[in-house]
Structure 1
């Protein structure tokens, strides 16, 4: 769920990260015009650079399709994700107050309380500008 939209991640493009021949993570995304939403990011090997590699791969795929902005939604309880995304260059651009209540109406399995005992209430929108590749027409 993001911004009131339920995503079928099995129908989205994605990238898989491998470490030592084993699956270590996956990311799915959705390109819409000049924007790319990072829909899911899952890493099974924390601290190994898997998340960073997945974000980089999605950003590259988005750039190749002409996207200028990579964005995502996370919830207010997901402090680990907020830390990771901000360290990765994403900027917090919007707080969608009480948006999870709408999402919960569509997907009742969303818990009331999340990580660290924090009530899940708000969606936080983060973005990463995507400069064109150096070899793109008009790139500096």
Structure 2
């Protein structure tokens, strides 16, 4: 776990420097596709506003540098985790949610939903900004 913690700590440090993150409430690692590895860091910025920060890493577990390697969104300007849970419950009904987390999919910052329904495992993606579903999801093979 030392490598994982070191990678997380580096992501938090980058978010502090580039997104004016001043406190952390949650960190998560998201891996989707062949080259999309992101650490998401939720916390407060220097104006005491809740933010979500995405920090991109390469397959070599090193941070990507460049213009789009760090992305920040004010949580107040997006759909919150609680609002996403409510939306999912109203649209999908009785499912077993395995996880809901911020991620990156199809060049979009998203909420990634992984759930089980009627014995099948499914991924769905929703725009982080407004909760609009992207695509039709992916059902894992049996």
- The answer to whether TM tops 0.5 is no
**Bigger RCO (CA 8 Å, 6+ sep):** 1
TM-score, length-normalised on structure 1?
0.29
TM-score, length-normalised on structure 2?
0.28
Higher helix share: 1
Higher strand share: 2
